[in-house]
């Protein structure tokens, strides 16, 4: 029987062998089975004043669901999670638990924190296998709410509003619902059919309608939704979709991509599969610039498409913004990290194809505004890395399509929509916003948290109109 | 699903379709485009809007098949459907953005010439039509390699003064569009605003010509695109030294500022893969690769 060797260490989770998985797109982490989950659940101390719950952006009642796992009542565990989260199978896989729930776990002071993420994933997968659906029992209010964007914040907000009895329609610009869960995060980290599509169906089960191929600001405006289509409130969860570039020489050469393009081709358009039409460049030597989760995703995708892959990041390992697990997995799979290194120029051949990238070594100086030590170039330390593909993963900013077509909607200087922290209220009456469209690029779970708060805000607003 | 109501072959390799897409038809303006995706496995393909009917909720698209995906479209018939059809994308043409009477009056004072190369006549037609409907006169030069390839001539004549020119002189005037424009100017026409849409190389040379005459020139770029909403950055073009995304900042840009040489290089990014896919589709099971040329053996 699987059990923790001692209560200080977590039950290890089974993963695909790094050598095998480096050549396939199957999920890396295989997750706990029943036995392993129950064993891990026994490590929970069921703290009265549970710090883990405070660390969770949607405040899942963690000790209670873990307790249900311990009793082998997995259905009950699912119901407890569902009260707070609409996307548990996703969050169990992509949340940065080490800085949230698990980061606060008392077990973590001496030994490993309880593997809350893996337990959440187990419960959500178990519920799917056993055909459990989220329940919607609220009385219909007959009021229509529009949600813009079928990503994490939109799906959460829509799900919560449906549970409160609202008639919710999500408008999605792409041809598939899921937002970053379908275009950004790769199959090997978050399976699309098995997990994402099921979570979307779950939200639809609550009565939420999803209209794809509608670009708010182009196909229809927020004002038209409210004046012509009868929506009494709108939630904007349009994400931070616009990729940033470095503006260094050579960036327009053939073979330079934004991580968004590379990942969208591979994940949304499934370019890695022969039976799909969208092309993707199979580089032999790929350099990914950046150190976040998206950079890890792009690098590990390139590796699986057959490339020798480097990550170039200007700070040191301690500052890598990616989840610890992603960095660990990337290293296991053979990705080389060139830390304290910054590109200065992309080199191209006579046909304008990428042939290399010129970088400069960096050192860390005084802390900057973000509290991290500022990287500074070391003079005369330039060197070249030979490569045929460069993927820029430098972050994203919000798409101005909505803010520029919605009169009276306030944005800040980074073009992020201004919305209140507590309930996502914007400068326009009845219009709420949350997720990356408000904060700039952040995490799935923070976007979900914002979607939840906005759902409460919208509910309070619509009630006040009675 | 978005139903195809009509599908037919126009001049030469050009095809036309009328598709039911009420949301797009309700809002689109000349200069904008759409993206279609045939089925689950298909690519997202950006195409030009040629005409629209707000009441019927339909969009007309005209295209020339270039690769596997657009070649498949030619087999579609009335009654078939696209799985996805999204738009309108991009910014409307500057000329057709405002119905304001003052703006229309200002347009009436302008001497406007459109220059269409090949399938470029398709995105020009709705602009000329819009201007005509608002009482603004304009000239249109339709250029094509030969008589067979002249596109939308009759419909264009209903809304504008049309000059047709063919490279081989088989129809209308003889020579390239650049020559036609210079001839018209020599004949006494004056222009202060030019909109040029066609193959990248033609737009490049036409812009060199108009620059000589000091005519403000707008071109419409059609680079490689994936999502069409600003998300991927594949469609970046360099305009006046700045990087712009054709899908959200364009597709129309100041032709005298566009770096055409760079844009033409970027256009070839997937050429080999497109060619391979096209051959595999066209030759079906008879395409075995192995020639060592096409890469089909991979």
Question: What is the ipTM, given to two decimal places?
Answer: 0.86
Query: Residues of A with CB below 8 A from B41's CB?
Result: 270, 275-277
Among B89, B265, B273, the residue with its CB nearest the CB of A218 is B89
Query: Which letter, b or e, does each residue of A171-206 get, where b requires 16 or more Cβ atoms within 10 Å of its Cβ?
Result: bbbbbbbbbbbbbbbbbbbbbbeebbbbbbebbbeb
Please name the residue of chain A whose CA is at the shortest distance from the CA of residue B37: A175
**Angstroms from A301 CA to nearest CA on chain B:** 16
**A399 contacts B231? CB cut-off 8 A:** yes
A27 min Cα distance to partner chain B (Å): 21
Chain A residues whose C-beta sits inside 8 Å of any chain B C-beta: 173-175, 183, 212-215, 218-220, 241-243, 245, 247, 251-252, 254, 257-258, 260-261, 264-265, 269-270, 275-279, 281, 351-352, 399-401
Q: Take residue B8 and report the two structure tokens written for it.
A: 């037919």
Inter-chain touch A175–B84, beta carbons under 8 Å: yes
Compute the distance between CA of residue A31 and CA of residue A37 in angstroms, rounded to an integer: 9
> What pTM, to 2 d.p., does this model score?
0.89
- Judged by CB atoms closer than 8 Å, whether chains meet at A173 and B265 is answered as no
The verdict on a CB contact (< 8 Å) between A401 and B248 is yes
Contacts of A279 in chain B (CB under 8 A): 43, 270, 273-274, 277
Q: Are A183 and B231 an interchain contact pair (Cβ–Cβ within 8 Å)?
A: yes
Residues of chain A positioned with their CB less than 8 A from the CB of B26: 220
Question: What chain A residue is nearest to B225 in terms of C-alpha separation?
Answer: A261
Helix (H, G, I), strand (E, B) or coil at B48: strand
Is A384:A347 a contact under the CB 8 Å cutoff? yes
Which candidate, B265, B267, B291, places its Cα nearest to that of B279?
B291
Closest CA to A260 of A446, A391, A399, A398: A391
Cβ contacts of A242 on chain B, cutoff 8 Å: 230-231, 233, 245
C-beta atoms of B24 and A261 within 8 A: no
- Using the beta-carbon criterion (under 8 Å), do B236 and A252 form an inter-chain contact? yes
What pLDDT score does B266 carry?
85
Per-residue pLDDT of chain A (466 residues; tens, 9 = 90+): 455 457 889 999 999 999 999 999 999 999 999 999 999 999 999 999 999 999 998 899 999 999 999 999 999 999 999 888 888 898 898 888 888 999 999 999 999 999 999 999 999 999 999 988 776 667 888 899 999 999 999 999 999 999 899 999 999 999 999 999 999 999 999 999 999 999 999 899 889 999 999 999 999 999 999 999 999 999 999 998 889 999 999 999 999 999 999 999 999 998 888 888 888 888 899 999 999 999 999 999 999 999 999 999 999 999 999 988 899 999 999 999 999 999 999 999 988 999 999 999 999 988 888 788 889 999 999 999 999 999 999 998 888 889 989 999 999 998 999 999 999 999 999 999 999 999 998 888 899 989 999 999 999 999 998 7
Question: For residues A170 and A185, is the Cβ–Cβ distance under 8 A?
Answer: no
Chain B residues closer than 8 Å to A399 by CB: 229-231, 248
Beta carbons of A242 and B262 less than 8 Å apart = no
pLDDT score for B298: 36
For residue B44, the chain A residues in CB contact (below 8 A) are 175, 269, 278
The pLDDT value recorded for residue B284 is 55
Contact state of A243 with B226 under an 8 Å Cβ cutoff: no
Instruction: For chain A, say whether B27 makes contact (Cβ under 8 Å).
Output: yes
pLDDT for residue B166? 93
Contact A279 B233 (CB under 8 A): no
pLDDT at A136: 66
What is the per-residue pLDDT for B294? 45
Q: What is the DSSP string of B180-206?
A: HHHHHHHTT---SEEEEES-HHHHHHH
The DSSP H or E segment spanning A161 is helix A152-163
Can you tell me the distance from the alpha carbon of A385 to that of A387, in angstroms, rounded to the nearest whole number?
6
C-alpha distances (whole Å) from A170 to each of A200, A232, A256 are: 11, 14, 34
pLDDT for B282: 61
The distance of Cα A196 from the centroid of its chain, to the nearest Å, equals 12
Residues in chain A within 8 Å Cβ distance of B226: 261, 264-265, 269, 278
Backbone angles phi, psi at A118, to 5 degrees: -65, -35
Taking the CB of residue A66, how many other CB atoms lie within 10 A of it? Answer: 27
Whole-angstrom distance, CA of residue B239 vs CA of residue B250? 11
Closest CA to B27 of B100, B99, B92, B85: B92
Q: Which residues pair with A168 in a beta bridge?
A: A145
Sequence-ordered list of residues with C-beta below 8 angstroms from that of A433, at least 6 positions apart, any chain:
A235, A236, A237, A417, A419, A424, A426, A454
Distance from CA of B274 to the nearest CA of A (A): 8
Is B270 within 8 Å of chain A by CB?
Answer: yes
Pairing of strands A341-348, A354-367: antiparallel
Q: Which of B88, B226, B266 sits opposite A254 (nearest CB)?
A: B266
Q: Which helix (H) or strand (E) holds A346?
A: strand A341-348
A212, B229: Cβ pair inside 8 Å?
Answer: no
Beta bridge partners of A357: A346, A385
pLDDT of residue B99: 87
CB-CB neighbors (< 8 A) of A436 in chain B? none
Q: pLDDT (tens digit, 9 = 90+) per residue, A412-423?
A: 998 999 999 999
Q: Do B85 and A351 touch (CB under 8 A)?
A: no
Please tell me which residue of chain A has the smallest CA distance to B262: A252
By C-alpha distance, the chain B residue nearest A350 is: B265
Cβ pair B84:A213 closer than 8 A: yes
B25-66 pLDDT, tens digit per residue, is 999 999 999 999 999 999 999 998 999 999 999 999 999 888
Residue A214: its chain B contacts at CB < 8 A? 23, 86
B268 with A254: Cβ contact below 8 A: yes
Beta carbons of A279 and B274 less than 8 Å apart = yes
pLDDT at B184: 94
Q: Which candidate in B226, B271, B297 is best for mutational testing of the A interface (most A CBs within 10 A)?
A: B226
- Cα gap B52→B95, rounded to integer Å: 17
Query: Number of residue pairs across A and B with CB atoms under 8 Å?
Result: 111
pLDDT along chain B (298 residues), means of 10: 94 90 95 93 91 96 86 92 94 90 92 93 95 94 93 94 94 92 94 94 94 95 86 90 88 94 83 64 52 43
Test the B interface: residue of A213, A242, A389 with most B CBs within 10 Å: A213
Residues of chain A in contact with residue B270, where contact means CB-CB under 8 angstroms, are 279, 281
Rounded to a whole number of angstroms, the distance from the CA of A208 to the nearest CA of chain B is: 19
CA distance B153 to B150: 7
CA distance B89 to chain A (A): 7
Q: List the structure tokens of A310.
A: 């480097």
Q: What string of H, E and C letters represents the secondary structure of A68-115? A: HHHCCCHHHHHHHHHHHCCCHHHHHHHCCHHHCHHHHCHHHHHCCCCC
B23 CB neighbours in chain A (<8 A) are: 213-214, 219-220
Q: Who among B245, B248, B265 is closest to A352 (CB)? A: B265
């Amino acid at each position: 029987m699987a059990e923790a060797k001692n209560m200080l260490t977590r039950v290890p989770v089974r993963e695909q062998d790094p050598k095998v998985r480096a050549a396939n797109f199957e999920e890396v982490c295989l997750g706990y089975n029943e036995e392993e989950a129950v064993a891990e659940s026994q490590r929970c101390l069921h703290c009265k004043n549970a710090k883990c719950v405070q660390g969770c952006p949607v405040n899942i009642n963690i000790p209670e669901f873990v307790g249900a796992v311990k009793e082998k009542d997995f259905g009950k565990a699912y119901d407890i999670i569902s009260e707070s989260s609409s996307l548990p199978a996703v969050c169990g896989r992509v949340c940065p638990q080490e800085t949230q729930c698990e980061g606060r776990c008392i077990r973590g002071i001496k030994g490993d924190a309880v593997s809350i993420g893996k337990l959440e994933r187990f419960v959500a997968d178990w519920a799917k296998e056993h055909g459990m659906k989220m329940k919607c029992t609220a009385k219909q209010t007959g009021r229509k709410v529009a949600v813009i964007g079928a990503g994490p914040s939109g799906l959460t907000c829509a799900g919560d509003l449906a549970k409160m009895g609202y008639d919710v329609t999500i408008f999605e610009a792409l041809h598939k619902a899921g937002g970053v869960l379908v275009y950004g995060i790769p199959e090997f980290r978050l399976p699309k059919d098995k997990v994402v599509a099921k979570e979307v169906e779950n939200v639809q089960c609550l009565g939420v309608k999803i209209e794809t191929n509608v670009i708010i600001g182009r196909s229809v405006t927020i004002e038209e939704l409210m004046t012509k289509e009868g929506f009494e409130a709108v939630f904007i969860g349009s994400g931070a979709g616009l990729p940033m570039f470095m503006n260094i020489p050579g960036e327009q050469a053939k073979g330079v991509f934004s991580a968004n393009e590379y990942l969208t081709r591979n994940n949304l358009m499934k370019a890695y599969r022969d039976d799909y039409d969208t092309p993707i460049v199979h580089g032999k030597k790929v350099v990914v610039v950046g150190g976040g989760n998206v950079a890890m995703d792009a690098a590990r995708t390139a590796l699986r498409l057959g490339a020798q892959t480097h990550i170039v990041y200007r700070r040191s390992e301690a500052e890598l913004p990616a989840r610890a697990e992603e960095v660990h997995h990337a290293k296991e799979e053979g990705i080389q990290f060139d830390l304290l290194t910054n590109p200065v120029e992309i080199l191209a051949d006579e046909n304008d194809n990428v042939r290399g990238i010129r970088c400069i070594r960096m050192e860390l100086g005084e802390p900057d505004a973000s509290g991290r030590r500022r990287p500074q170039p070391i003079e005369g330390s330039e060197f070249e890395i030979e490569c045929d593909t460069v993927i820029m993963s430098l972050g994203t900013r919000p798409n101005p399509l909505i803010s520029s077509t919605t009169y009276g909607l306030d944005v800040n200087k980074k073009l992020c929509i201004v919305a209140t922290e507590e309930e996502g209220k914007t400068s326009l009456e009845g219009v709420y916003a949350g997720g990356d469209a408000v904060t700039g690029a952040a995490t799935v779970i923070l976007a979900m948290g914002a979607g939840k708060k906005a759902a409460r805000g919208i509910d309070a607003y619509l009630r006040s109109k009675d | 699903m978005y139903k195809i109501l009509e599908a037919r072959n126009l001049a030469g390799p050009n095809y036309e379709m009328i598709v039911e897409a009420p949301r797009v038809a309700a809002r689109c303006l000349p200069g904008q485009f759409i993206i279609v995706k045939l089925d689950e496995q298909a690519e997202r393909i950006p195409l030009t809007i040629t005409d629209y009917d707000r009441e019927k909720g339909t969009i007309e698209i005209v295209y020339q098949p270039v690769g596997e995906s657009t070649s498949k479209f030619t087999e579609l018939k009335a009654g078939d459907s696209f799985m996805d059809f999204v738009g309108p994308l991009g910014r409307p043409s500057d000329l057709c953005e405002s119905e304001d009477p003052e703006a229309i009056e200002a347009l009436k004072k302008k001497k406007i010439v459109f220059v269409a190369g090949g399938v470029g006549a398709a995105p020009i037609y709705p602009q000329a039509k819009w201007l005509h409907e608002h009482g603004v006169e304009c000239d249109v030069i339709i250029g094509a390699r030969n008589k067979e390839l002249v596109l939308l001539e009759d419909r264009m004549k209903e809304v504008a003064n049309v000059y047709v020119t063919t490279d081989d002189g088989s129809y209308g005037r003889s020579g390239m569009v650049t020559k036609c424009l210079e001839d018209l100017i020599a004949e006494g026409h004056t222009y202060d605003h030019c909109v040029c849409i066609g193959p990248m190389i033609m737009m490049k040379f036409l812009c060199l010509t108009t620059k000589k005459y000091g005519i403000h020139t707008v071109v419409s770029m059609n680079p490689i695109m994936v999502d069409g909403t600003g998300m991927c950055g594949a469609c970046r073009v360099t305009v006046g030294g700045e990087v712009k995304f054709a899908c959200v900042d364009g597709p129309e840009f100041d032709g005298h500022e566009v770096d055409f040489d760079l844009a033409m290089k970027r256009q070839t990014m997937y050429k080999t893969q497109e060619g391979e896919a096209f051959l595999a589709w066209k030759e079906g099971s008879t395409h075995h690769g192995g020639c060592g040329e096409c890469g089909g053996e991979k």
